[in-house]
Amino acid sequence: MKKALTAILLGVAALAAQAQAWPMGKPITLVVPFPPGGSTDLIARTLSNQLPAKLGGANVIVDNRAGATGTIGAAQVVRAPADGYTLFVSSLGPFVIAPHLIKVPYDALKDFDTISIAVQAPNVLVVPAASAHKSLADVITFLKANPNKMSFASSGNGSSDHLTAELFWLQTSTTGIHVPYKGGGPVMTDLLGNQVDSSFMNINTAMPQILAGKLRALAITSEKRSPLLPNVPTLDESGVKGANVYSWQAVAAPKGLPADVKKKVHDAIVASLNDPAVKPKLLELGFEIVANTPEQFAAYQASEYARWGKLITSRNIKAD
């Protein structure tokens, strides 16, 4: 009994020492479950540039582990030691969408220690500049008169832009043609080439072409109008209720992260996102800083998990 108690006390002391000393000069890896170049990779690299100064000079690296809609990287993280040296920077997909579409080797609601939702960004309904549709009302009128005649491109089955279109059709009692692509690049190419009619594209992706006059923004999925597109109405104010959608990027860790380490990670991430050298640049790109608490992230994840699971089931959405 005495030996067991001693072992427990030594274990607690070791954890306390680890938490106090972290990051102890070891590199911290930010696992991104997508290829370089996308929004999630941008947020991870922004953090990797900022975190060293917030964590006493720690070495922070980005590891892109793409595949299986982000779930390969997610699985790698949940298998890693919960010591603060492996963190997960991901969009909502592996957290709240992919588990409803494919068999994943982790429990999205139980196998992560949530740290913070870093940023969020709405989607924008866009059409080519040459489109006859000048407003959201035009689109809804056309869809009601011409079911399954207007195409809505997305970056893939089960993607945020796809689910936004499904939600939009559900809330307006309309139907359109979903055209899934392998990524956002081909979507943009065919939109600009007038090969597809529309897309609920992420604001970060759409903004350059909107500003260039090549795409027309008809509505935005945020709760309030975006300062980047002040003349573009929200779906809600246009009469389409219950279709507010945000893409988001968040940071999590393997389950069991020591409380002191978790606080250090969280505080460093919040400070990084709100750094005067960072925040304005992210806002210019269309990202809204969230930087919430682990508890708020967990509650939001549970809500989003239930929301998208219900939609995927009711609309019979498949991964392929």
- Confidence class of residue 97 from pLDDT cuts 50, 70 and 90? very high
- Distance between CA atoms of 114 and 132, rounded to whole angstroms? 45
What pTM, to 2 d.p., does this model score? Answer: 0.90
pLDDT digits (tens, 9 = 90+) for 137-170: 999 999 999 999 999 999 889 999 999 999 999 9
Is the pLDDT score of 6 beyond 90? Answer: no
Q: Report the pLDDT value the prediction gives residue 20, as an integer from 0 to 100.
A: 54
Three-class DSSP category at 277: coil
Task: Tell me which CATH homologous superfamily contains domain 121-220.
Answer: Periplasmic binding protein-like II (3.40.190.10)
**Domain-by-domain residue ranges, the chain?**
2-120+248-314, 121-220
CATH topology of domain 2-120+248-314: D-Maltodextrin-Binding Protein; domain 2 (3.40.190)
Q: What is the mean pLDDT of the chain?
A: 93
- Distance between CA atoms of 221 and 123, rounded to whole angstroms? 5
- Distance between CA atoms of 23 and 291, rounded to whole angstroms? 21
Q: Report the pLDDT value the prediction gives residue 25, as an integer from 0 to 100.
A: 83
- Distance between CA atoms of 283 and 203, rounded to whole angstroms? 11
Three-class DSSP category at 38: coil
pLDDT digits (tens, 9 = 90+) for 247-292: 999 999 999 999 999 999 999 999 999 999 999 999 999 999 999 9
Find the helix or strand (DSSP H, E) in which 17 lies: helix 2-21
pLDDT digits (tens, 9 = 90+) for 36-79: 988 999 999 999 999 999 999 999 999 999 999 899 999 999 99
Q: Quickly list DSSP for 227-272.
A: TTSTTSPBTTTTT-TT---EEEEEEEEETT--HHHHHHHHHHHHHH
Higher pLDDT, 283 or 5: 283
